[in-house]
Amino acid sequence: MYAQMVKTGVEHVRSKDEMSPEEQAFQERVDADIKIEPKEWMPEAYRKTLIRQISQHAHSEIIGMQPEGNWITRAPTLERKAILLAKVQDEAGHGLYLYCAAETLGVSRDELMEQLNSGKAKYSSIFNYPTLTWADIGAIGWLVDGAAIMNQVPLQRCSYGPYSRAMIRICKEESFHQRQGYDAMTKLARGTPEQKQMAQDALNRWWWPSLMMFGPSDADSVHSAQSMRWKIKINSNDELRQKFVDQTVPQAEYLGLTVPDPDLKWNAERGHYDFGEIDWDEFYQVIAGNGPCNRQRLRTRVKAYEEGQWVRDAADAYAAKKAARSKAKAA
Amino acid sequence: MTDKKEWPLWEVFIRSQHGLAHRHVGSLHAPDAEMAIMNARDVYTRRNEGVSIWVVKASDISASSPGEKGPLFDPANSKVYRHPTFYEIPEELGHM
Ligand SMILES: [Fe+2]
Ligand SMILES: [Fe+2]
Ligand SMILES: [Fe+2]
């Protein structure tokens, strides 16, 4: 997902006997669906895991602007350009909501920026793939935002108040993202044979990376089990992936496009689609920094940050000048 | 990265279209109040969410601590007579 394979620092799910009275009281509140708020006592591992998870999510929103930003100046119509601009601006907003939520846990914005710009921080594997044609913009909105929604909707109910509230804001905006993507795909799928081929090609390239977004199976992961106990993870990776496949296949069929998976078929007994093996080697390669665009994404990010320095300096200088002026007036 | 000092954190309050009170919607960093309002416009009102924005430096807000919750709020629990439903009004009187 936007946060993939988040470590909790625990070796097994904490049992009641291992917990201090404070931790027991904390777990009881979580179990009773009472939100945990910033100033309240929380286990150190919960705090640290949340910082990791929320900041990864935030970094993904920020880096996620790049593949789409690539097409803003080349959108096929002024309307598409305005839509894409609005969508990318939303993603910047999502990053900001999430950084603020992370900061309530005691990490500073500067630290978070440093982690991202130095390449130390992780972000979702999906944003390391290139956007080769306009159809990729449709495919991203439809598939990538679609997959993100699968994960973000349940997170609205997560145990940490600021994270849950950020998710609620984000979810309100995401459905526009997915719809505009599907709408762009529809236009292409109903267009000339070349345009339809472009849509098919984009689906071919984005399908498997989208399924990888959910992360490898975490049925046996201690970290996932602990995160679920803390209610900062609501569903297992496989559960969400299956939901995504079940939802998306009919949408592809409606467009007359073919999902690039020869093993994909409806399983009436399970009431779900069966689908083929995911190439997890590819996923691990991308996570390790060897995806098609990892280096480019980081380079672009650092360049934007450095080239924005004069704007931040100017804002600082202006604020200082104004403060000095109003002080002089008061004196 | 050459940033020497981090911009202060501002809490953002928005009055929605419907004439309700300003409501806390989130926070952001900005060098001063004027920039905080401009940023808040972009971050929190991209879809007509508001007609007025307040920003307050987060460090200027005093908050009750979670530990005080009992002493502060428990006393209200026992005062059921503060609610209209505590009183029974004869049915023949109709609405009151
Ligand atoms: Fe987003
Ligand atoms: Fe997104
Ligand atoms: Fe989105």
* CB contact (8 A) between residue B65 and residue A39: yes
Is a pLDDT exceeding 60 seen at residue B3? no
Task: Of A329, A159, A216, A301, give the one whose Cα is nearest residue A224.
Answer: A216
d(CA A58, CA A292): 21
pLDDT of residue B2: 45
Q: Are the CB atoms for A30 and A231 separated by under 8 Å?
A: yes
Q: How many CB atoms lie within 10 A of CB A322?
A: 14
Q: How many CB atoms lie within 10 A of CB A44?
A: 9
Q: Which residues pair with B28 in a beta bridge?
A: B10
- Under-50 pLDDT residues of chain A: none
What's the average model confidence in pLDDT over B10-18? 93
What residues contact A68, with CB distance under 8 A and at least 6 apart? A84, A87, A88, A91, A131, A137, A140
Q: How far is A243 from chain B (nearest CA, A)?
A: 30
Structure tokens at A234: 């609501």
* CB contact (8 A) between residue A114 and residue B42: no
In angstroms, the Cα distances linking A30 to A33, A62, A229 are: 5, 30, 8
Q: Are the CB atoms for A56 and A122 separated by under 8 Å?
A: yes
pLDDT of residue B1: 41
- A174 CA distance to ligand 3 middle (Å): 5
Q: How many CB atoms lie within 10 A of CB B93?
A: 7
Q: Are the CB atoms for A310 and A318 separated by under 8 Å?
A: no
Chain B contact for A37, CB < 8 A?
Answer: yes
Residue B6 per-residue DSSP state: P
Chain B residues closer than 8 Å to A94 by CB: none
pLDDT of residue A220: 86
Residues 170-209 of A with CB under 8 A from B: 173
End-to-end CA distance of chain A: 55
Residue type, A285: Q
Structure tokens at A295: 């280096």
d(CA A55, CA A51): 6
Which among A37, A96, A312 is the nearest to B43, CB-wise?
A: A96
Chain B residues closer than 8 Å to A39 by CB: 63, 65-66
How many A-B residue pairs are in contact by the CB < 8 A criterion? 55
In angstroms, the Cα distances linking A148 to A109, A171, A177, B85 are: 24, 9, 10, 46
Nearest ligand, CA of residue A58? Answer: 1
Query: Nearest chain A Cα to B69, which residue?
Result: A40
CA dihedral of residues A73, A77, A79, A82 (deg, nearest 10) = 0
d(CA A69, CA A165): 27
Nearest ligand, CA of residue A178? Answer: 3
d(CA A304, CA B14): 30
Specify the 3-state DSSP secondary structure of A133.
coil
d(CA A98, CA B26): 10
In angstroms, the Cα distances linking B89 to A19, A45, A228, B3, B94 are: 52, 55, 50, 67, 8
**Which residues, chain by chain, have CB under 5 Å from ion ligand 2?**
A 148
Q: Are the CB atoms for A305 and A66 separated by under 8 Å?
A: no
Chain A contact for B70, CB < 8 A?
Answer: no
Q: How far is B70 from chain A (nearest CA, A)?
A: 14
What's the average model confidence in pLDDT over B15-42? 94
Chain B contact for A261, CB < 8 A?
Answer: no
pLDDT of residue A278: 97
pLDDT-derived band of residue B4, with 50, 70 and 90 as boundaries?
A: low
* CB contact (8 A) between residue A165 and residue B26: yes
What's the average model confidence in pLDDT over B63-70? 84
Within 13 A of A213's CA, how many CA atoms are on the CB side? 32
Q: What angle do CA A66, A152, B65 make, to 5 degrees?
A: 110
Residue type, B11: E
Please identify which residue in the block is written with the tokens 């598409």.
Answer: A80
Q: What is the pTM of this model?
A: 0.93
Which among B1, B35, B43 is the nearest to A315, CB-wise?
A: B35
d(CA A227, CA A234): 8
- B72 CA distance to ligand 1 middle (Å): 39
Specify the 3-state DSSP secondary structure of A43.
coil
d(CA B83, CA B88): 11
